[in-house]
Structure 1
Amino acid sequence: MNFELEILLAVIVYLWFFAWNGRRRGSPRELYVLVVAVTSWVILQTFGPQVQLIGNLIFKFIGLVATGGLGGENSDVLAAVSEQPDIITADNRVTFLFIAWLVVVIIVYLWTELAPIKKPNNKGWATILGMANGLFFAAVLLPRLVAMLGDEGRTLAAETERNDVSVVLRGSWSVFREGIGNLWSIAQPHAQIVIFLLVALVLIIAATSLRSGAKA
């Protein structure tokens, strides 16, 4: 039970950071990042072989340009491209797709950070979208970060599909469900006070959101 509580608190702190960052950046920026991150991940995993083929063609063309092989006839150029070795193979395709996804996410994050996008005063959606980004990033990155824990971590990462984000999402929901249940069992002797504090917190948040919307 104590370890489950530690996990729950760690998840809450992690999501709180992304919620705060979402409030700082605003809902449009967080929405752009979320849509691009999820869409690009789905496209890369769905069309992995096609992306691999396009990536190899691009790398072969760059290699041909670097060696000055574009001076011949078209047939010679095509033959030279086809003779170039494939940089992206079946063994490293997952790594290539992951790096491509990271590049896309970093570019869109920096663009939304620097672009003059109007930030609404209402922080509610920004907070929710920030937490959604944090949860999706955890679902993608956690199976890879687990491998840093040594042999046991690498074994666990190998047993878990690195591209199956639903594994982490289901695990996060289980942690929240069990953690909230454990917290409620601790707070149950003071249930009336806890419920009063929760209702007061909800009312404060609602009043703050309405006030921000009125100022807009």
Structure 2
Amino acid sequence: MLSKNQQHIVKSTPWFNSLSHEVQSHFLSVLKLIELSRGENLYRKGDQGLGFHCVLSGRVSVSNVDKNGKKLILAQLESGSWFGEISMFDGLGRTHDTDADSDSTLAFIRRDDFHQLLQQFPSSYLYFAQLLCEKIRSAFSYIDTYSTLTLKQQLAKRLVLLSTNFGQQKSAYTNVEVSASQESLAMMINSSRQTVNKLLKELEAQRLIKTMYRKITITDITALKAICEWKE
């Protein structure tokens, strides 16, 4: 059973908030809690999809490993982020690895409960389709980023994405704080920590960010979006 505060986090996500009150109530009634310790794996690529999740506290990383064993972080998801819905529809294995970056609490709906909900409320298919479309758009955006933008532009875009919980929240215009190490940023743009350090210093010299230990404050997100050719 989710606490009132945990239910508030779930309800405050734009996608969930668009559901009817009846569907929301049923959804909340079948949600379970999962506790993860820092570094603990939730699932590996190819694992059977048993349900999908919402981050209530902490942070999880979605990643892949290339043929040389190098880890590439695709997303870091914090409170209010939904993930894992693809396997709910196609019945295939997980598309990526997912691990806890810190002690984390997740809400979880089992695949069977999810499909029972869809059968009981068939009109809710539309809202889940919208959630899937958001992920498809993000995937295309990632492909465009990797193939057309410079490393500096890619880093700027990742900082914007982090400030919006990877598109699941609206970002403020100034003094947006994101938690990310140079190592994790390097894994996000498939580069080295040394290169990321150099690029962060350039952005700081332009007064777009302020760097701290494992934290970055975005002081001018509008200019940062201009650098990475951000499209709303």
- What TM bracket, shorter-length normalisation? under 0.3
Give the structure with the larger strand fraction.
2
Question: Which structure has the bigger radius of gyration?
Answer: 1
Higher RCO by CA contacts (8 Å cutoff, separation 6 or greater) = 1
Give the structure with the larger helix fraction.
1
- With normalisation by structure 2, the TM-score equals 0.24
